[in-house]
Amino acid sequence: MTEVLDHTKLANIVRNGIKGSVCRESTGDLSVELEKLRDVLGFLQKEESLDFKLLNSITAVDYIEFFQLVYHLTSLTHNHCAVIKVDIFDRSNPTAPSVIDIWRGADYQEREIYDLMGIQFKDHPNLKRLLLWEGFDGHPLRKDYLEPPLPYNWPQGG
């Protein structure tokens, strides 16, 4: 059984590793500061006792007041998993650091989030729309997205 890491224990390890990074801990997951996100994730991957080599998925959720990025991590050697969350409050220009140099598996997922949720990933080498076409107006997974009225007048398709 993949063990869900105890959040207090995980928070302690992360606090010791990266100072001032944890902002909130709740059952089953850990919220970190946006500025320290890259450091924390890199630390989680490198740290021997944690060894999160597999990034299961990255999810973006639109909570209207803020965007939340959810990182599901798994360690294949210790067979445990953890959930890291980070909140982005800047709604006009939400930006998060890219983790593509830590886990290359983040490549398409970050592009997808940029495409559908409109979160910019700093230092992503190829941040283009993944599923929709270039020139699509808006980011459909946002809660305030409204479908334009028919007939569509999008460039390059629609």
Partner 1 sequence: MSGSFLESNVIFQEIYCVLAGSKYAGESCSAQGLLPVGYDWIGFFIAGFAIMFILANAFMLGAAVFVYSERRLLGKFQLRTGPNRVGPFGLLQPIADILKLLMKEDIVPNGADKPVHTLAPIVMLAPAILVTAVIPFGSGYFLTDLNVGLLYIVAVSGMITIAIFMAGWSCNNRYALFGSMRGVAQLISYELPMVFSMVGILILTGSLSLIDVVNAQDIPFILVQPMAFVIFLIGTSAELNRTPFDIVEAESEIIAGYHTEYSGIKFALFQAAEMGSILVSGAVVATLFLKGWEGPFLPGPIWFLIKVYGFVFLMIWVRATLPRLRVDQVMGFAWKFLLPLSLVNIFVTGASVFILGDMENGVRVLDSVDLLLVGAINLLSLIACLVLAGFFMKTKASGGRSREILVSEFDPAGREVLT
Partner 2 sequence: MKTEAITVNIGPQHPSTHGVFRLRVTFDGEVIQDVEAVFGYLHRGSEKLAEERTYTQVITLTDRLDYVASMTNNQAYVLACENLMDIEVPERGQYLRMIAAELQRIASHFVATGFLLQDLGAMATPLMYGFRERERILDMFEMLCGARITNTYMRIGGVFQDAPEEFWGSLRSFLDGMPGFLDEFDSLLRGNEILLARTKDIGVLEASEAINCSVTGPVLRSTGVAWDLRKVDPYELYPRIKFDIPIGTNGDNYDRFVIRLAEIRQSISIIDQCYEQIEAGPVRSTNELLFYPKTGDAYGKVEAPKGELGFYLVSDGGIAPYRCKIRSPSLINLTMIKDLLIGSKLSDMIVTLGSIDINMGEVDR
**Given the rule CB under 8 A, which residues bind partner 2?**
1-2, 53-57, 59, 61-62, 70, 72, 76, 79, 83, 103-109, 112, 116, 129-133, 140-141
- Is residue 26 within the footprint of partner 1 (CB under 8 A)? no
C-alpha dihedral sign at 116, 120, 123, 127:
positive
Nearer to partner 1, 76 or 131 (CB): 76
Q: Which does 78 bind (CB under 5 to 8 A by kind): partner 1, partner 2, none?
A: partner 1
Is residue 79 a contact residue for partner 1 (CB under 8 A)?
yes
Measured CA to CA, the distance from residue 73 to residue 144 in angstroms comes to: 29
Residues 38-67 that bind partner 1 (CB under 8 A): none
Q: CB–CB of 62/119 below 8 Å?
A: no
C-alpha torsion sign, points 139, 141, 146, 147 = positive
Question: CA 113, CA 80: separation in Å to the nearest integer?
Answer: 26
Q: Which is nearer to partner 2, 1 or 150 (CB)?
A: 1
CB of 88 to partner 1, least distance (A): 35
Q: Does 76 bind partner 1 (CB under 8 A)?
A: yes
Task: Tell me the backbone φ, ψ of residue 55, rounded to 5 degrees.
Answer: -95, 105
